[in-house]
């Protein structure tokens, strides 16, 4: 299967008055998204990357919304070309045994994360932005639906229940994992963890009697993805509630959940916290420091909510803090995407990935008391799918309902297994 390198390496030089093809437009969009994120994908840098004027770009495609639609249309065409062989394999194999499904899914993720990395970076950027930008949502919807449909077909061949596939959980799983694959595919412990999760997913989620070795391997991989000395880290349960640093951390948490890392600027956070820009910059010198403060604030409140749920029997999947904008699912997904550009955040993202399901596993005895074999690895697989699903939906009551409905489908599947 040919890589997407031909898109990334297209020559930028062209006549000033010649409008770009859809393929050239997509290649330029991928370059910009990889370097600056979706926020950098505006008409002027796009035109400069294509060596044409903004006027030529606008006259040919229209406003930014029209240009985004053209980019997504070209990406969908590329997607259909790339996925043709995989769809052919699904038809040929007809039924995917669990081991075959896990291996094939692993190969697809590897391909998307490595040889198709520019396209995948653009994809996850659009996933994130589509939950709060209606212009992006409208342009991106056909591409997102095509990806969802592929994983629905894949899951059907693998024998997953229709209710689970219709909930969007499996497609969500591969969206969340793709963001981490783009970032961490170079790390053997991550790749092994990803494979371990896929094996558990397609074997029915619950721990089988012959999978005792998986627990030990999971622990080894968890430790291998730990922070190394000197790396900036997120303190689990940090207390940032007193004074203006707490207000600043709260503002970072809200922006990180709502708009991703791009929403964290020193001037914006200083204004929200009610302190001078210079004061904030002294305490949090870089954007990465603002990200870490926001994550610590969200996680500290999430831990409190999980402990409270365990004591009170409150089985809501989304904590009170998440309902007020402190959404750990969206925040950690945003960090995984941004860490490809802000490399100091990569250890934080790796830590967030290895801890997927760490809070859910505490509540599973109450949430699914009749299901045995629901260990941390099962909780991690469940959590990845739920987080990926949540990140395709605008925040609000409908998203909470969709996530809880998907959770019910996952639990039902695990009980039957």
Higher pLDDT, 368 or 246: 246
The token pair that represents 3 in the structure block: 């890589």
- The 10s digit of each residue's pLDDT in 358-382 is 888 888 888 777 777 788 999 999 9
pLDDT class for 165, splitting at 50, 70, 90?
Answer: very high
Q: What is the mean pLDDT of residues 389-394?
A: 94
Helix axes of 98-113 and 134-157: crossing angle, nearest 10 degrees:
150
pLDDT at 36: 92
pLDDT at 307: 66
- The 10s digit of each residue's pLDDT in 199-240 is 999 998 887 777 667 888 999 999 999 988 888 887 766 666
pLDDT at 5: 55
pLDDT at 297: 87
Alpha-carbon distance of 261 to 383, in angstroms, equals 22
Alpha-carbon distance of 374 to 158, in angstroms, equals 21
pLDDT at 369: 77
Q: What is the mean pLDDT of residues 189-198?
A: 97
Instruction: Tell me the CB-side half-sphere exposure of residue 182, using CA atoms within 13 A.
Output: 26
Alpha-carbon distance of 344 to 333, in angstroms, equals 16
User: In this structure, are residues 392 and 172 in contact, taking their beta carbons and an 8 Å threshold?
Assistant: yes
- The 10s digit of each residue's pLDDT in 271-288 is 988 899 899 999 899 998
Alpha-carbon distance of 8 to 337, in angstroms, equals 19
């Amino acid at each position: 299967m040919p890589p997407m390198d031909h898109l990334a390496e297209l020559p930028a030089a062209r006549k000033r008055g010649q409008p770009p093809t859809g393929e050239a437009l997509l290649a330029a969009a991928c370059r910009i998204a990889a370097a600056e994120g979706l926020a950098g994908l505006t008409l002027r840098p796009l035109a400069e990357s294509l060596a044409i004027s903004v006027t030529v770009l606008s006259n040919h495609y229209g406003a930014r919304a029209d240009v985004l639609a053209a980019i997504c249309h070209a990406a969908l065409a590329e997607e259909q070309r790339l996925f043709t062989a995989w769809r052919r394999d699904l038809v040929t194999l007809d039924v995917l045994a669990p081991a075959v499904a896990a291996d094939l899914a692993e190969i697809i993720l590897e391909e998307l994360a490595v040889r198709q990395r520019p396209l995948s970076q653009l994809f996850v950027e659009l996933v994130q932005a589509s939950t709060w930008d209606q212009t992006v949502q409208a342009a991106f919807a056909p591409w997102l639906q095509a990806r969802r449909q592929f994983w629905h077909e894949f899951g059907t061949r693998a024998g997953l229940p229709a209710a689970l596939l219709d909930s969007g959980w499996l497609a969500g799983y591969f969206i969340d994992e793709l963001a981490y694959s783009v970032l961490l595919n170079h790390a053997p412990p991550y790749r092994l963890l990803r494979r371990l999760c896929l094996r558990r997913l397609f074997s029915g989620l619950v721990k089988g009697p012959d999978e005792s070795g998986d627990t030990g391997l999971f622990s080894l991989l968890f430790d291998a993805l730990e922070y190394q000395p000197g790396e900036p880290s997120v303190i689990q349960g940090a207390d940032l509630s007193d004074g203006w640093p707490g207000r600043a951390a709260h503002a970072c948490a809200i922006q990180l959940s709502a708009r991703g890392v791009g929403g964290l600027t020193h001037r914006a956070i200083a204004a929200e916290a009610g302190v001078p820009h210079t004061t904030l910059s002294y305490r949090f010198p870089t954007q990465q420091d603002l990200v870490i403060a926001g994550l610590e604030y969200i996680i500290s409140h999430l831990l409190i909510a999980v402990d409270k749920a365990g004591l009170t029997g409150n089985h809501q999947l989304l904590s009170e803090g998440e309902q007020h904008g402190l959404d750990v699912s969206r925040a950690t997904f945003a960090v995984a995407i941004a860490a490809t550009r802000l490399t100091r955040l990569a250890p934080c993202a790796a830590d967030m990935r290895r801890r997927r399901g760490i809070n859910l596993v505490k509540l599973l005895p109450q949430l699914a008391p009749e299901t045995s074999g629901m260990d941390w690895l099962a909780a991690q697989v469940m959590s990845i799918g739920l987080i990926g699903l949540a990140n395709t939906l605008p925040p609000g009551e409908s998203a909470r309902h969709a996530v809880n409905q998907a959770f019910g489908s996952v639990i039902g599947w695990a009980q039957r297994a």
